[in-house]
Structure 1
């Protein structure tokens, strides 16, 4: 692995990439939970998203999840006494307008609707219901998170760099850590649950390696059906997961050198935007562009973190 790493890695910055010595330096490529999950599901999907960066049309459900996440982040920025349902509802429309201002192309989200205004109102109402469901799962007035939308990063002893965003990090006065992730869909069946736990173990590993503490609880909150799933990892499990990620990164680098990212057909293909380019469905991938600018490899978009 080291020889391949040497070909594609450059110096690492911290935070915003600017230091006192000079201009911005390129960040080393990192593995994020979303891209790791992509490669685990289908190496060709990883290529399409991380290397080719093929466009994907966001769905209304994804954008709704992004807006709900933004509202919950803003809610915890308020004084505890104001973290009530009415305040959350009042934050919804501004959060949508803020996202729309940053991504004007989302204004076409309802262009295909017969009555766009009515469907937009119904869509915002569905987001309101998700926020109401959140208050049925916990009382945010009783919580003081250490951070929301927290960027975490850790370099493993092998040199693999992990990077991701945590929806919410709770730290007890005794030092115990809880990782909370909001899901705006329903509680998943076997495949979806495994994918969600993969993501949470990723966060747990990063926190363990940076803070020296194994999170006491990984909590998934499914707002659509008001369900909450909790999981308690241990050191042995995280060590095994660490080896899994190291082997995965090694495989990604080998594929990156040759362009040999193979499809792995499954039931999840029904939801893939790129079937037209997939050999498993008679398509032809674009010409391999070569290993990309490392800056983008570990990046997660807001849509990745939406549900």
Structure 2
């Protein structure tokens, strides 16, 4: 009996390209960082976690676990206990700075939740959603899914220094993919997306249409087409593949893989572990795919 090797059959459909919003955006930010993060094996060591990432992850975890508390414990004291048990003491200058930021996170989460209906249970918390088209299979994890009058609403938490705008909500590729994926996963309408800036309690929103969501899905398919080509090139040529040239920018001073990129090192001195923290209780902008993984 002869052995048939995989790929020997002609006319077989091209497999769907598996992607996440984080993977798509990593390619747009810098092809070299994308290669090191997703393709290189062994993966180059990343720098230690910074303090602003610890703040962001802790805040997300507390806002996730808060809704698992019984209603009688959804109090400032309950939040304080969650912050204490979830705190990530990594990247801070010293114990005093860590303790000060732990208190700030507690206060900001309590203030944010005062404006929430604490008796209305979300439909999903860090819920995975999926979307398939003729060319891609996108999976992502939504911070929170609400039910508002029978329709789903995507809620994405932000913890950074920069307060998001309605334009940020309108143009966000991840938010649109989460909405399209939630609609497919739950078989319910989902067109509203919201960015909740926890430190300032700012909420900005955008109401998509089916047409605008379709355009965002098409955008994701276009990026995935480039990724499919680049991934194949890497499989043949490895790190010598020309598709992975760096894209130097001010972001290089924050890059977790800076130590492996001479071009990035020329963009200026590396930021300290706590450089993302400032004196007024906020942090450097943290995108949804930075620190808090949404793959």
With normalisation by structure 2, the TM-score equals: 0.74
> 1:147: Cα distance to partner?
1.4
> 1:178: Cα distance to partner?
0.7
CA displacement, residues 66-118 of structure 1 (integer Å, 9 cap, x when unaligned): 1111111111012334322221112111122xxx6xxxxxx6644xx4xx332
Which of these residues, 82, 85, 104, is aligned with residue 91 of structure 1? Answer: 82
Which of these residues, 61, 77, 85, is aligned with residue 70 of structure 1? Answer: 61
Pairs within 5 Å for 1:1-307 = 30-52=18-40, 53-54=43-44, 55-96=46-87, 109-110=91-92, 113=93, 116-136=94-114, 138-158=115-135, 160-172=136-148, 174-188=149-163, 193=168, 197-259=172-234, 260-278=243-261, 280-281=263-264, 303-305=291-293
> 1:216: Cα distance to partner?
3.8
In 2, Cα distance between the equivalents of 1:196 and 1:305? 20
SS for the counterpart of 1:252 is helix
SS for the counterpart of 2:127 is strand
1:156–1:209 Cα contact (<8 Å) kept: no
> 1:37: Cα distance to partner?
1.2
Q: 1:108 to 1:64 in 2, by over 3 A?
A: closer
In 1, Cα distance between the equivalents of 2:216 and 2:289? 24
SS for the counterpart of 2:118 is helix
1:186–1:222 Cα contact (<8 Å) kept: no
Unmatched 5+ stretches in structure 1:
10-27, 101-106, 284-299
Q: 1:219 to 1:31 in 2, by over 3 A?
A: same
Q: 1:162 to 1:56 in 2, by over 3 A?
A: farther
1:291 aligned residue: none
In 1, Cα distance between the equivalents of 2:119 and 2:85? 25
SS for the counterpart of 1:219 is strand
> 1:130: Cα distance to partner?
2.3
SS for the counterpart of 1:30 is strand
1:80–1:140 Cα contact (<8 Å) kept: no
- RMSD of equivalent CA atoms: 3.2
In 2, Cα distance between the equivalents of 1:188 and 1:7? 44
> 1:245: Cα distance to partner?
0.9
In 2, Cα distance between the equivalents of 1:247 and 1:79? 45
> 1:252: Cα distance to partner?
0.5
SS for the counterpart of 1:88 is helix
> 1:194: Cα distance to partner?
6.9
In 1, Cα distance between the equivalents of 2:164 and 2:290? 24
User: Which protein is richer in helix relative to its size?
Assistant: 1
